[in-house]
Amino acid sequence: MNGPSDAAVSAGTGAEEWYRLWLRYVPVSDAGLREAYRSHAAEVVVEGSTPIAASMRDELRAGLSGLLGVEVPVSAEPGRAGAVVAGCPATSPLVAGLGWGDELAKLGPEGFIIRSARINGHPVTVIAGGGERGALYGAFRYLRHLQLQDDLSSLEIKDQPRNNLRVLNHWDNWHPTRHDMVERGYAGSTLWQWDELPDTVDPRYRDYARANASIGINGSVINNVSAHVEFIQSENLPKIAALADVFRAYGIRLYLSVRYDSPMVLGGLEKSDPLDPSVQAWWREKIAEIYGHIPDFGGFLVKGDCEGQPGPLSYGRSHAVGANMLADALRPHGGIVMWRTFVYGKELDRIGGISEDRVKQGFEVFYPLDGEFADNVVVQAKNGPLDFQVREPVNPLFGQMPNTNLGIEVQITQEYTGGNVALCWLIPQWKEIFDFDTLAKGPGSTVRKVVEGSLDGHPLSLVAGVANTGTDRNWTGHPLAQANWYGFGRLAWDSSLEPHSIADEWTRMTFSHDDKVVRGITGILLGSWRTYEQFTQPLGLNLMVERARCRLYPEPVFREPFHGATETGVGRDRTRGGTGYVDQYPPPVADRFNDLDTCPEELLLWFHHVPYTHTLKSGETLIQHMYASYRGGVRGVGVLIAAWDALQGHVDAQRHDDVRQKLQEQLKLAEHWRDTCICYFSEKSGIPEIADEQ
């Protein structure tokens, strides 16, 4: 990237490589506009000596110098027209002297104002934050304004995040000498070089932090939710602290996933019962030790009683009791607990009355606990009730726990949506989820309002994303998957943003303002999720993928308990006459899903077991529609390839070739899905594909 970590760039392959992400800071192509910008950005003034102030100063200097094609100096105070002054009232006397304190207070510590003003008699642009992080976000917003070639005259921008916790969850595992330990590691190995830390701090860590800060991400859980105790061992805390030191300069708090039985594994206690005083004392001591190394440590993420991870159910304690014990120990330090609702399987045998339908189990465990969680606990629910599928309904917990801080977890890394092979831009999917009306308190009770806390008046709001970053030079394995990382940050900041505008921003910043490029790449991104859905899981058909680590290929025979295919029909019956899952939603929503005629067809096979001969609204039979969908998905990938090929000569050759190779891999993947699934369903149903639909 151009900017504070240019040393990391020098090892790359050239100016137009993927490493720089959306922070390219190349000169504005329009000479007239570039000259106009120079008159508005003649020098940088950032008061203060804190790490965030230094980051702001360096970013504005590097960003403006790159975009304007001239070296923009740093000054102690405005000495000419066109200075860019950035800071917050607490650390910048210049900003404090403007009298904007009341306005900034209403925007909160992460909000900001960008406004034309006069200081020392000079016309200047002021980037004022409610706190230092707000000023930093404002600085990145100002640079984005230039990258998008927007007007700088008479600037008046006010913004603040809709969600106060915007966090990446890394599924990185511990290994002191190897760097290939990432679950679902589609972008290469873990970023964290444990054998080198804390003595050697890779400059890539700073570029990671810069990229996150530029899109408003303010937290990073650096290790896997299937946690290893090594991350909180005393001898390893200096390594963790070295990362926190880098993150701090960009307003990012570090969090850790922890194993619930750590008092037994590390402390030698006989049990980890959350109500045992010795267990509570062990956690208080360990947490104090962590804060001794990392004063601004954010807190813990916990996966309990699921997939082999221990939890409070082992001791007959509820998840609320388990979470609150940790929350009480963190509270004196200002820390929080993010407690996942992803629970299923044999770990739940200790609770009576749990359904055999896996998608019901999280609701059955957590819904009765509404109101029992401490105020510094955020219950973290996946966007759907199963497991990050390309299509599943909204998790019924949203809107159903009004007395609980309830955050949302989405998966940026593409575990079930194509890995590092397929292009699947997930922002349209997430946008649909945020916009879904739960009707919990009548019309307008959207998931967005639940997560923000505005529906029920909660102080903590969380949007978490399972990260897709790794050591690949392009950061994300598939180069266009960078757009998922970018889009996550933008939606976490403001989930009312539209996918088209996010795609437009990312394309202009990552590639160019060439209209052909912007239209072409925006269209490719926007169409990719539906294309992937077409050739993998039409009509809400779920969990068809293999059990293997890559989860790319179909394995329909093994997955029959999930997709429910028989000789006469397909789909899982989750209606009132089946597993009863529909009634985990408020009655108006449940009624819509329960009725075959009103259930959205994209979720038909999620909620209903349907005969292969069932007639859809299109007039097609179900089975012929499925055959057509598998073939249409292959054609859809061909459309993506043609659209990308049309950009040859408009996108630099190396990056064009990189993406084309990936799209060709995706075409082979789609053909494999088509052939496997059509063969499976034709044999299962005994109904051949109609020739003229081939």
What digits encode the pLDDT tens for the residues 44-92? 999 999 999 999 999 999 999 999 999 999 999 999 999 999 999 999 9
- The average pLDDT across 408-431 equals 97
Domain 165-497 class, CATH top level: alpha beta
Buried b (16+ CB within 10 A) or exposed e, 83-97: bbbbbbbbbbebbbe
Q: In the annotation, is 71 catalytic?
A: no
What fold, for 530-572+609-693? Alpha-d-glucuronidase, C-terminal Domain (3.90.1330)
Does domain 6-159 fall into CATH 3.30.379.10? yes
Verify whether residue 307 is a known catalytic residue: yes
Sign of CA dihedral 596, 433, 381, 453: negative
Q: Is 675 helix (H, G, I), strand (E, B) or coil?
A: helix
Each residue of 95-128: pLDDT tens digit?
999 999 999 999 999 999 999 999 999 999 999 9
> Of 387, 573, 658, 671, which is the active-site residue?
387
Q: Give the per-residue pLDDT at 345.
A: 85
User: Which listed residue (47, 59, 273, 415) is catalytic?
Assistant: 415
| 3 state SS of 568 | coil
Per DSSP, the three-state class of 119 is: strand
Checking if the pLDDT of 281 tops 90, the result is: yes
Is residue 415 among the annotated active site residues? Answer: yes
pLDDT of residue 261: 96
- Looking at residue 12, its pLDDT comes to 39
CB-based contact 448:435 (threshold 8 Å): yes
pLDDT 10s digits, 429-462: 999 999 999 999 999 999 999 999 999 999 899 9
524-546: per-residue pLDDT in tens?
999 999 999 999 999 999 999 98
Give the pLDDT confidence score for residue 13 in this predicted structure: 40
Catalytic position from the list 35, 307, 498, 657 = 307
Residues 140 and 527: their CA atoms lie apart, in Å, by: 29
| pLDDT score recorded for residue 10 | 34
| Span 163-182, average pLDDT | 88
Q: Average of pLDDT values for 279-306?
A: 98
Q: Band of the pLDDT at 347, cuts 50, 70, 90?
A: confident
Give the confidence band of 241 by pLDDT, cuts at 50, 70, 90: very high
Task: Enumerate residues 6+ apart whose C-beta is below 8 A from 87.
Answer: 46, 47, 48, 53, 56, 94, 95, 127, 128, 129, 132, 135
Listed by start position, the domains of the chain span 6-159, 165-497, 530-572+609-693
**Which pLDDT does position 690 carry in this prediction?**
87
In this predicted structure, what is the pLDDT of residue 11?
Answer: 37
Lowest-confidence pick of 135-144, 161-170, 445-454, 684-693 = 684-693
pLDDT at residue 349, as a whole number: 85
- In whole numbers, what is the pLDDT of the chain averaged over residues? 95
What is the residue type of 407?
G
Q: How far apart are CA 261 and CA 135, in angstroms?
A: 41
